[in-house]
Structure 1
Amino acid sequence: MMGCADVLGLDLGGVTDAPVTLRSATVVTAGAPAPYCEVRGTVAPANTIVVRLPVDGWTQRYVQTGCGGLCGNANINYGQAATCPPIADGTVASATTDMGHQGRPDGSWAAGDPQAQLDFAYRGVHVTAETAKAIITAFYGRSPAYSYFTGCSDGGREGLMAAQRFPGDFDGIAAGAPANNMAVQNTFHHAWNVLANRDADGEYILLAGKLPLIHAAVLAACDKLDGLRDGQIDDPRLCRFDPARLRCHAGQDPATCLSAAEAAVVRRLHDGAVDARGRRLEPAVSHEWGSELEWTLFVPAAQGQTVASENFALSYLRYLADPNEARPGYQLSDLSFTVESFWRTVLPSSTYLAAMDPDLSAFRRGGGKLLLWHGWNDQHISPRSTLAYYDALRATMGASTVDRFAKLYLLPGMAHCGGGEGPNTFDILTPVMAWVESGRPPARIVAAKTTGRTRPVYPYPTVARYDGTGSTDDAANFVAHTPRVPVRNDLDWVGRPLYSHGYQTWPRVVDGRLVLR
């Protein structure tokens, strides 16, 4: 094994498609479970990479972690993988990247920089994997035996993009709450979150003070559908809540009920974006019943506030929807909710930024294993989007084939990548490692909450059911239950053809512009 400082002398020419510049290599001991050599550098033109190499006890595993949002920050974030023993004890080599740009979360980094757009889309993760593996091989004198990727939100999209475009980069991928439908998610979905809650004068109709009222009513109606009243809904698809039941009666205190306009907003936020004829412009159900306390992402506490959904939508609509024309003055009111506008808006960026190709044949043939996971209470990215991708995967490749290399976990009560009222801390990476390294298919995972509650979560469509004995806060008292009649997912929406193979492109940068097929 070479010394940490000697890494700076490595010749990495030809490792990837562009020059690699290593800027620092330092042994870190403070705050680490074990000493590691941290290497920082750049893959041209601007992909910042960070590689961590354990000084002792390396297990020949490599783990690459993903970003969130529009990235722009090369800080290793293990997220849910923090509970994975090899991560916790510091015996894996790891790396991450800012995906080709720095800072500016408003998306303006993409204006006039087509290469940065490609690096964010898919190239940044790939060249980081190539470079990190070369550094690891030189440092230890042997290459990684197993390579893994873990990420949530955009990190989930990055993991799926790797499986689809670079199937040989990773042996196992854990993709959480993937923003794989980014071109729709960050346009019609988030714009609808805002516009569906505004009146003719541009004022918000529903404010966050009413969310606990709505949530309590939803739980009263649907919490016990799984046989247990425990403050979480195991499968929100079974909930048939009608917000109209909360409409105010004559003389009722308005703090205890909803106006007709507020009830209509709740319905619109739940159902998601549609055109004037009711045709869906995003997958069915935008926000599940039971997730209402998380709606502060797009329901403000007071008039005059700018909600996060507005920032998400404008960042994409202004700088990423059209790869060659920035529109910094674009407003949400400029977006038309029509089928024609849908395709004009989400294409062409879907062809290289979305990760929706359901043909993972090459990844499967290489022995790759995929664990998808999503919280049912996700307020940012609808779990229906992940269900739609999983259904497309099974329809394309065959259910039995998919079951041999991919699993989906849906976590009741969990919000976006964590948080929420349900158990939300769990180890998703160890099951991936066991599946890859020993062929042991993942079974249940156990999720925990700071309150002390633990619950098992099984591969979809199996769910956990209380066995009738002991504490309902103890995972040991739950068993697997597979519904005899599975819930059918409603896949009818305008963008369903996006879950297909063949339209994805590999753009080129020519004379400062992005050229697509």
Structure 2
Amino acid sequence: MSLFALRFHSWLRCGVVAALVLAGAVPARADTAPTGLAPLPALPPVMACADLAALRLDGVTDGAVEISAATVVVAGAAPYCEVRGRIAPAIGFVLRLPTQGWTQRYVQTGCGGLCGSARIDPGQGADCVPVRDGTVAIATTDMGHQGSGTPAGAWAAGQPQAQIDFAYRGVHATAQLAQALVARFYGQPARHRYFIGCSDGGREALMEAQRYPQDFDGIVAGAPALNMVVQNSFHHAWNVRANRDASGRYRLLAGQLPMLHAAVLDACDGLDGLVDGLIEDPRRCPFEPRRLLCRDGQDPAHCLSPEAVAAVQALHDGARDDQGHYLEVPGAHPLGSERLWTLFVPPTPQAAFNFSEQIAAAPFVRYLAHFNQALPAWTVDDLRFTAEAFWQTVQTSVYLSAMDPDLSRFQARGGKLLLWHGWSDEHIAATTTIAYAQALRRQMGAAAADAFTRLYLLPGVGHCGGGDGPDQVDLLTPVMAWVETGQAPQALMTAQVASGVTTRTRPVYPYPLVARFQGGDPTLAANFAPVDPGPEEPTPDWLGAPLFASGYQAQCQARDGRLVCDPPGLPFGTPAPR
């Protein structure tokens, strides 16, 4: 049992009072707010909203600032001053400043996908009381380009600054500017600063912890696309290539996924002692796709062809080269996630559209995957699944990926990090986040890492939510309480809601602990307890394991229409021709 697990079991022995604290029924300390947050006095603005538009903001960040609008909006929980503008050359931002009741907190939200829109979305922080009540200053950015579709115009026309802004500068510059505006508007800076994001927003969260540890005190990184270059090239291309035959026809079809999923549950659902449609830890599931291989005379509606069985195995395992070496963290699509594979498993053999190809892989590889090289005609059929092609492609990880496990600067400032991932994520595998957490503990030391980081894995939950498992959870309040009153998060309450009705609740515990049913009503969280499942499942070897290392993240500049980074490439693997 890990040191953290021992500490956690000691916490549980506090009995009924601890259980009430866990459920949020009573505060843990008399001097804290009911949610466990510090009881910070609310402060009023010291200037008019409209006057923000006239502020001189030279030197706040590394680009000129233009405020296009500063207006009072009366909507939702409380009125706020909405500030919109741009950080040169093209980083759009939006900031909302409460005009009454500001509780001295700043929250910045991430932007998913390829971004392109400055839309505030607190995600799994929406139920956090200060956010819900409109008492926090809150901001976001479009990360340097506009338009939620493929941002080829920004990335393909000799504008490397747009690539840098998307990689890491947009979020950092917005944090600098927004926090400066907060200080001007209220006459003092925010007491506590937080970031929450999922998917690419999770990558942005880790970029902040790794590159700019001074920006935030508490960070929530959900389903992080931390291995962005591999994710948007080999992973998504494999989703297509592993399921197409030589003639271009898809072998496994969407209509077969419910049958496949049912077979997986039949094999593994009850391993944790409860048949509830969820798999506690898919890595421990022994299901073999060949169980579904059609026998002579069997109804094909209830079995799979040899080609479809091979596709299922390949999709589950993840990208490999022809020698069998993994080109991504193995377990690319964990068992139990099959119903959500409709993202990349089409309904017909001749399907013309596939999300993994047209939306994920193609725009990224065409305009971001290679230094100073656009490939506008690229398709997934052009990608070679070889070690040489792998190292040539992932060179841009030096500025696009967020895999550095050395968070010592963030830790030294007292920063707190909460990682979370759904086990049924159809976009990004939870195994990648586990691999990062394992690398972080190796780098920092297990005890040190446990003191400022937590990882939560949600059975049955899809990408940033959805799926078959309880996905409604407030992940921001636990980080706020950790930062403000020293209450390290333990069990988090999750809920499943259908048509506005809560159908079940379930605790989720810090990894590696799992929630195990103790008897009674299985839809109630109170009937589950934390269990250490035994020795941790190690991450299998894969070619890019050295990417979980420190020291190679680059600072980049746009010079004469070219992207120039220092260091210029990875210190391991086969260097790309430059």
Which of the five TM-score ranges fits, normalised by the shorter chain? over 0.9
- CA distance in structure 2 between the partners assigned to 1:107 and 1:380 by the alignment: 20
- CA distance in structure 1 between the partners assigned to 2:171 and 2:130 by the alignment: 22
- One-letter identity of the residue aligned with 1:325: Q
Measured after TM superposition, the shift of residue 487 of structure 1 is: 2.8
Residues 168-203 of structure 1: CA deviation (Å, up to 9, x unaligned): 000000000000100000000000000000011011
- CA distance in structure 2 between the partners assigned to 1:244 and 1:369 by the alignment: 44
Aligned match of 2:364 in 288, 294, 316? Answer: 316
Corresponding residue for residue 518 of structure 2: 467
Does residue 167 (structure 1) correspond to residue 220 (structure 2)? The answer is no
- Pairwise mapping of residues 253-402 of structure 1 onto structure 2 (< 5 A)? 253-302=299-348, 303-311=350-358, 312-347=360-395, 349-402=396-449
- Pairwise mapping of residues 52-451 of structure 1 onto structure 2 (< 5 A)? 52-103=96-147, 105-108=149-152, 109-111=154-156, 112-302=158-348, 303-311=350-358, 312-347=360-395, 349-451=396-498
CA contact (8 A) 1:182 1:354 kept: yes
- CA distance in structure 1 between the partners assigned to 2:212 and 2:518 by the alignment: 44
TM-score of the two chains, using structure 2 as the length reference: 0.88
Corresponding residue for residue 24 of structure 2: none
CA contact (8 A) 2:316 2:333 kept: yes
- CA distance in structure 1 between the partners assigned to 2:397 and 2:385 by the alignment: 18
CA contact (8 A) 2:283 2:537 kept: no
- CA distance in structure 1 between the partners assigned to 2:351 and 2:261 by the alignment: 24
- CA distance in structure 2 between the partners assigned to 1:35 and 1:120 by the alignment: 31
TM-score of the two chains, using structure 1 as the length reference: 0.98
CA contact (8 A) 1:444 1:459 kept: yes
Corresponding residue for residue 16 of structure 1: 61
Measured after TM superposition, the shift of residue 425 of structure 1 is: 0.8
Residues 334-356 of structure 1: CA deviation (Å, up to 9, x unaligned): 11000011001111x10000000
Does residue 480 (structure 1) correspond to residue 530 (structure 2)? The answer is yes
Measured after TM superposition, the shift of residue 316 of structure 1 is: 1.1
Does residue 25 (structure 1) correspond to residue 70 (structure 2)? The answer is yes
Q: What secondary structure is seen at the aligned counterpart in 1 of 2:246?
A: coil
The farther-off stretch of 448-457 and 94-103 is 448-457
Q: What secondary structure is seen at the aligned counterpart in 2 of 1:40?
A: strand
Does residue 456 (structure 1) correspond to residue 507 (structure 2)? The answer is yes
- One-letter identity of the residue aligned with 2:317: D
Ranges in structure 1 where 5+ consecutive residues have no aligned partner: none
Measured after TM superposition, the shift of residue 301 of structure 1 is: 1.1
Corresponding residue for residue 504 of structure 1: 553
Measured after TM superposition, the shift of residue 99 of structure 1 is: 0.4
Measured after TM superposition, the shift of residue 486 of structure 1 is: 2.3
- One-letter identity of the residue aligned with 2:452: F
Residues 396-420 of structure 1: CA deviation (Å, up to 9, x unaligned): 1100000000000000000000000
Measured after TM superposition, the shift of residue 305 of structure 1 is: 3.0
Structure 1 stretches of 4+ moved >3 Å: none
- One-letter identity of the residue aligned with 1:18: G
CA contact (8 A) 1:288 1:377 kept: yes
Identity %: 60
CA contact (8 A) 2:357 2:379 kept: no
CA contact (8 A) 1:461 1:486 kept: no
Q: What secondary structure is seen at the aligned counterpart in 1 of 2:233?
A: helix
Q: What secondary structure is seen at the aligned counterpart in 2 of 1:449?
A: strand
Q: What secondary structure is seen at the aligned counterpart in 2 of 1:404?
A: helix
Q: What secondary structure is seen at the aligned counterpart in 1 of 2:220?
A: strand
Measured after TM superposition, the shift of residue 18 of structure 1 is: 1.1
- One-letter identity of the residue aligned with 1:409: Y
- One-letter identity of the residue aligned with 2:384: S
Measured after TM superposition, the shift of residue 104 of structure 1 is: 5.4
Paired residues, number: 513
- CA distance in structure 2 between the partners assigned to 1:380 and 1:242 by the alignment: 22
CA contact (8 A) 1:388 1:491 kept: no
Measured after TM superposition, the shift of residue 6 of structure 1 is: 1.2
- CA distance in structure 1 between the partners assigned to 2:412 and 2:373 by the alignment: 39
Alpha-carbon RMSD across the aligned residues, in angstroms, is 0.9
CA contact (8 A) 1:237 1:487 kept: no
CA contact (8 A) 1:270 1:288 kept: yes
- One-letter identity of the residue aligned with 2:369: A
Measured after TM superposition, the shift of residue 78 of structure 1 is: 1.1
- CA distance in structure 2 between the partners assigned to 1:305 and 1:415 by the alignment: 25
- CA distance in structure 2 between the partners assigned to 1:253 and 1:209 by the alignment: 14
- One-letter identity of the residue aligned with 1:334: D
CA contact (8 A) 1:61 1:144 kept: yes
Q: What secondary structure is seen at the aligned counterpart in 2 of 1:42?
A: strand
CA contact (8 A) 1:107 1:316 kept: no
CA contact (8 A) 1:107 1:320 kept: no
Corresponding residue for residue 83 of structure 2: 39
CA contact (8 A) 2:115 2:148 kept: no
